[in-house]
Amino acid sequence: MKKLIIGAVIVLVVIGGLVIWYFNTATGQRMIKSIQSNNSGGIERVVKVYSDDGKLIEEYEGKIDIQDTEYGNKILFDLNGKRVVIYNGTVVTGEK
């Protein structure tokens, strides 16, 4: 029985160490940022939409949670209670 408890403690320590390590990697940090964005309705961002020749068409600022599609031809987000959908555009986003 004592060996079983020691084994369980060792497994828990190893799993805990792996979780701490993972959340300190770049992938883990991005996942944390995504979770924060999903749970709080977005993060403060600047979204710029450019034409094919590189001219700025539109710029959006505010608390934005961006959703892209599986095929990469559409970006959508809500800003100030209105849905914004961008089809086939060059979109650059940055956190404020």
Distance CA 16, CA 38 (A): 25
Give the global pTM.
0.65
Q: What's the confidence (pLDDT) of residue 59?
A: 95
- Exposed/middle/buried for residue 37 (C-beta within 10 Å: 0-12, 13-18, 19+): middle
Q: For 7-55, how does the pLDDT look when each residue is reduced to its tens digit (9 = 90+)? A: 888 999 999 998 889 888 998 888 888 888 778 778 889 999 998 889 9
- Is residue 78 within 8 Å of 38, Cβ to Cβ? no
Mean pLDDT over 50-76 rounds to: 86
**What are phi and psi for residue 39, nearest 5 degrees?**
-80, -20
- Alpha-carbon distance values, 84 to 4, 5, 11, 13 (Å): 56, 55, 47, 46
Distance CA 60, CA 46 (A): 6
Beta-strand pair 56-64/43-50: antiparallel
